[in-house]
Structure 1
Amino acid sequence: MARDPDTIQREIEQARDALAATLDQLGTKASPKRLVDNAKVSAKSKLDDPKVKLALLGVGALVGLLVVRGLFR
């Protein structure tokens, strides 16, 4: 059963439009600027966690203590 050429052309155009939209979405998701922005937001939210702040404070104090101890030996 043969299909109408106009119908085939419309289907091709619809498929092309759908593919273009998908490629646009993928391009937006893979944008380096967007990835950097997401990483910044993620890091900031992790650093706002009180447990992480206390752990970093403890590590900083330990490093400071080791530096001071090394200077006075």
Structure 2
Amino acid sequence: MARHPQEIERDIEQARDALAETLDELGTRAHPKRFVETAQTSVLAKFDNPKVRISLMVIAALVVFAILRRLFR
């Protein structure tokens, strides 16, 4: 069964609009600023964990101790 040219044009226009919308969404998702915001949120969430926070404080104290020990030898 043959389709009318107007029907074909309408289908093409709908497909074009859907493709444009998809490309806009991909552009938004792949924007570097979004990656930075996601990484920043993830890192800040890790720092809220007490185990991570205490571990970092211990590491920082050991680094300071090592530096002071080297300076006053």
TM-score band w.r.t. shorter chain: over 0.9
- 1:18-29 equivalent positions in 2, closer than 5 A: 18-29=18-29
The aligned residue for residue 54 of structure 1 is 54
Moved over 3 A (4+): none
- 1:34-53 equivalent positions in 2, closer than 5 A: 34-53=34-53
Q: Which runs of 5+ in 1 are unaligned?
A: none
The TM-score, its normalising length taken from structure 1, stands at 0.92
Question: Which has the higher mean CA deviation after the structures are superposed, 8-17 or 34-43?
Answer: 34-43
The TM-score, its normalising length taken from structure 2, stands at 0.92
**Alignment coverage as a number of residue pairs:** 73
Q: Distance in 1 between matches of 2:71 and 2:36?
A: 39
The aligned residue for residue 69 of structure 2 is 69
Query: What is the Cα-based RMSD across aligned positions, in Å?
Result: 0.9
Q: Which runs of 5+ in 2 are unaligned?
A: none
